[in-house]
A and B are shown apart, each in its own frame.
Chain A
């Protein structure tokens, strides 16, 4: 059988132009399949890692996915705010260990500005247990200090000390800016692969301060109130807050307590559950994508089948020669099956190579533009099984030309007049 394998390779090499084209098609399709699978799992992983260690997210009563989207992913806007009093009351609940208040609504050049407290840098966790760290600078201390997410700093080319002006509203282009109260960059966070990278962080007091005199929704013309900078800057309301509890066992009790809160309609969600719900919404598209790439592999393998079958007629003499020197029909069967399996193996191997080349090439781009960190790791068990499936499918397809060659071998005899 070893010599049959060697013959199959030599025979393929003899037809190397078509064989290489076929190989190319298979490796491209395999690379696509693996890339889709890789992006799918990394996206899911990165998604699930967006927020960790937080037991509850609390916002005004609305849909739980909506709350998750605006509080964690900075997508969309809240329908309503939470009063400062309600927030304080829940934050002082005996089971609550820490809270991170969040105030959204402003932006800087398309990046959301998030008002919070120093607790954000102490308690926020992502990717299970990782903390926010600074590549430069420190958390905000003075009123107009700002801390940038990694992507904000990189994309806008900001460094420490850079003055920035916050715009009112969340759009990329705003006509109303808080130009009279510029911020100063005091810290830049390390990349996290989460929406934190695309956020400008300031203190809650600063959010309050820049909106002084904006009670009507826009600045009052000609009215400057420098004296009020030192006024009471305690916020009147916030957008949402994250809650950490003393003990996870109390999660449902506290959640019920918040959902039944009488003074204001509030909603408390478990981030893990909401993330799962949100991901399930996208699972259909994700599975469709995987199915499509599966079909692409099938197309690649069908190309291989076509090549082998088309070559079969021209190779009747080759088969007859092998028969005359003692090859049994089962040898010819093995010859053609090993051709198919050999092509698929080579295709899978080069496909894997293409995948890693591609990953290495697009990784910085994807990380910068989509905040998705693609992992250049050894193939997972599932990826190995996908590759095994490709080779297995090629084996099954190889049975078709093998069977025909077997039949031909029995009927053609030793003398073929082609």
Chain B
């Protein structure tokens, strides 16, 4: 694999400078960030209501979109200078995602869902194998750590509760120890008790793997549990635009 190697181990997890992005390279700027750095291993809460440029930021961090101006470095790799497939590889190898809802492919089993990243990244497959001897064994280990053991394995993922589904998604983001975990409103569909439980499990596992956790939410209720909290509104100098793409 000619994927970007994680050689820049001294560089920060994420480094933005003079970054600006607009939809299809035209229209108003959706995101303008002068300077922003996330250290490796940091657990960061980014608070932003919808329309604050949250999805845009996530797509940029995931390497799906590219900024028109400025630089965006993930683990030292300048995404603007990488081609589309190199950015896709960087995401596959080093970034795990958890979304608010519907994270799972309904036609795969719990374990099959968890090992999906290993199907697209040789690096994560190797790391998972190194850890548990096999990717499925590693998936089971993570699922059990997240309290999803035993008879649940046999059940179709569509029969899992929302909280259980979110934990499967967390296991999938964690498998193969990616350097960066990005969680986009992962707790918004959970009730208050389960939010804290879910977050505690997620943080413990991130700490165990040394992964950087970027937690994005409009709801500040969980702020207290993070080392650093950033308001996207104050970070983003572009005027907030209401709309589905913002």
Contact = CB atoms under 8 A, between A and B. Distances in A.
B58 A414 contact: yes
Given A14-B107, A413-B64, A417-B244, A325 B117 contact: yes
B119 interface: yes
A134 B121 CA distance: 73
A324 B97 contact: yes
Interface stretch (A83-91, A94-102, A328-336, A338-346): A328-336
B107 A10 contact: yes
B130 interface: no
Contacts of B22: none
A410 B58 CA distance: 14
B20 interface: no
Given A13-B107, A321-B103, A413 B59 contact: yes
Interface string A307-350: 00000000001100111111111110000000000000000000
A301 to B, nearest CB: 24
A80 interface: no
Interface string B96-139: 01010011111110000000110111000000000000000000
Contacts of A155: none
B93 interface: yes
A52 interface: no
Contacts of B116: 322, 325-326
A325 B106 CA distance: 15
B105 A321 contact: yes
A415 interface: yes
Interface residues of A, number: 24
Interface of A is mostly: helix
Contact of A325 (B55, B59, B120, B244): B120
Given A413-B65, A414-B97, A415-B99, A326 B121 contact: yes
Contacts of A328: 84-85, 88-89, 120
B1 to A, nearest CB: 12
Contact of B92 (A3, A318, A326, A329): A326
A323 B64 contact: yes
A3 B120 CA distance: 9
Interface string A141-152: 000000000000
Contacts of B121: 326
B62 A324 contact: yes
B88 A11 contact: no
A323 B65 CA distance: 12
Contact of A3 (B59, B64, B97, B119): B119
Contacts of A325: 92, 97, 116-117, 119-120, 172
Q: Place the interface of chain B in its size category.
A: 20 to 34
A326 B88 contact: yes
Contacts of B103: 321
Contacts of A7: 119
B107 A414 contact: no
B58 A329 contact: no
Nearest to B184: A415
A410 B87 CA distance: 12
Nearest to B120: A326
Nearest to A330: B85
Contacts of A329: 84, 88
Interface in B52-80: 55, 58-59, 62, 64-65
B91 A326 contact: yes
Given A14-B106, A326-B117, A415 B93 contact: no
A413 B184 CA distance: 13
Given A413-B65, A414-B97, A415-B99, A318 B88 contact: no
Contacts of B244: 417
Nearest to A14: B107
Contacts of B55: 413, 415
A50 to B, nearest CB: 57
B190 to A, nearest CB: 18
Nearest to B55: A415
Nearest to B85: A328
B167 to A, nearest CB: 16
B84 A321 contact: no
B108 A326 contact: no
Contacts of B62: 324, 413-414
A412 to B, nearest CB: 8
A115 B57 CA distance: 96
Contacts of B117: 325-326
Interface string A1-26: 00100010011011000000000000
A417 B244 CA distance: 8
Contacts of A417: 244
B162 to A, nearest CB: 15
Nearest to A328: B88
B108 A10 contact: yes
B99 A324 contact: yes
Contacts of B119: 3, 7, 325-326
Q: Please name the 7 residue pairs, one residue from A and one from B, whose CB atoms are nearest each other, closest first.
A: A326-B92, A326-B120, A14-B107, A413-B59, A328-B88, A324-B97, A3-B119
Given A3-B120, A317-B102, A331-B120, 11 more contacts: A10-B105, A10-B107, A321-B103, A325-B119, A326-B120, A328-B84, A410-B84, A413-B55, A415-B55, A415-B59, A415-B99
Interface of B: 55, 58-59, 62, 64-65, 84-85, 88-89, 91-93, 97, 99, 102-108, 116-117, 119-121, 172, 184, 244
